[in-house]
Amino acid sequence: MTINIIALGKLKERYLHDACKEYLKRLSFLKINIIEISPIRLSESPSENEILIALQKEGNEISKHMAKGSYTICLCIEGMQMDSQALANTIEKISCDNFSNVNFIIGSSYGISEAIKQKANMLLSLSKMTFPHQLARVMLLEQVYRAFSIIKGSKYHK
């Protein structure tokens, strides 16, 4: 299975970069591609229309990197929430359904375009709480690692 994490923005803080590096090392048995897309720059107080246009442009860039025939999961606030066991079950089912690629989409601080959400197989929320979208990448990698630990029956998940 190949996992593509398509994320708007680069990791800026060293501690986030180090955390991602650690989980990528732990997940070395998987092929993981991290694709960073530059978010559209907006004014200090953008209008709803400016935000919509930016999301559409970002969506066009995201589309270019979505592997064809992949299972796509958008991380967004309105997505469903699940525990780690349910995520492991979902990943296992995706694999059994013969999807060899999974796209995880992490949007900008303004979210993800509706067009991308409509292409997705699943909308997933990491929490009802608000987190910086850069931290979402670390949280996602940890949960992917935890999910595969559950699938393999390792003691990481207690």
- DSSP structure class, residue 13: S
Q: What is the pLDDT of residues 128-154, one digit of tens each?
A: 998 888 899 999 999 999 999 999 999
What SS3 class is residue 84?
Answer: helix
Q: Which CATH superfamily is domain 2-40+47-152 in?
A: SPOUT methyltransferase, trefoil knot domain (3.40.1280.10)
Give alpha helix (H) positions in the chain.
Answer: 14-26, 48-65, 84-96, 114-119, 133-152
Whole-angstrom Cα distance, residue 26 to residue 29? Answer: 8
Q: Report pLDDT digits (tens) over 58-106.
A: 999 999 999 889 999 999 999 999 999 999 999 999 999 999 999 999 9
Sign of CA dihedral 13, 19, 141, 126: negative
Map out the domains of the chain as residue ranges. 2-40+47-152
